[in-house]
Amino acid sequence: MPKSVADIMSPEPIAVGPATPLQEAIQILAERRISGLPVVDDVGKLLGIISETDLMWQETGVTPPAYIMFLDSVIYLKNPAVYERDLHKALGQTVGEVMSKNPVTITPDQTVKQAAQIMHDRNVHRLPVLDNTGKVIGIVTRGDIVRAMAASQD
């Protein structure tokens, strides 16, 4: 029988709330040597993910979108809404301001193969595992998938 996500996930992962100060989230990531955290509400339902990638905006800042002037009109070469989002990430002070919303998720009954396929197709490094009420009950990382593959070779 194929292994399920429940077999390989890390149960009860460390999570933060949207009001958590960014510095606190950075400390957790550094001390625990992890690259991302689920962001949950008061009852444990998933709101987003905060990852090293989200935090990079704090250091790198953002570049305004390129534009050209044509007949006294500004024509943006990139979507200004994307710039607004990125600027918010660069200036944010709380996890909620910087997190990635609508993360890709998985359920505990799905197979490890399905988890690997989702991670590959969506280019994500971790999948929050949700129960049928939307609460975070675990997390699966690419490392978990590789360890499961190695264990199945024995």
Q: What is d(CA 126, CA 139) in angstroms, rounded to the nearest whole number?
A: 7
Cβ neighbours of 46 (radius 10 Å): 20
Q: What are the extents of the domains in the chain?
A: 5-153
Provide φ and ψ at 57, rounded to 5°: -60, -30
pLDDT by residue, tens only, the chain of 154 residues: 679 999 999 999 999 999 999 889 989 988 998 889 999 999 999 999 998 877 765 565 555 555 566 676 666 556 656 656 555 555 568 899 888 899 999 999 999 999 999 999 999 999 999 999 999 999 999 999 999 988 887 6
Q: What is d(CA 82, CA 116) in angstroms, rounded to the nearest whole number?
A: 29
Please name the fold of domain 5-153: CBS-domain (3.10.580)
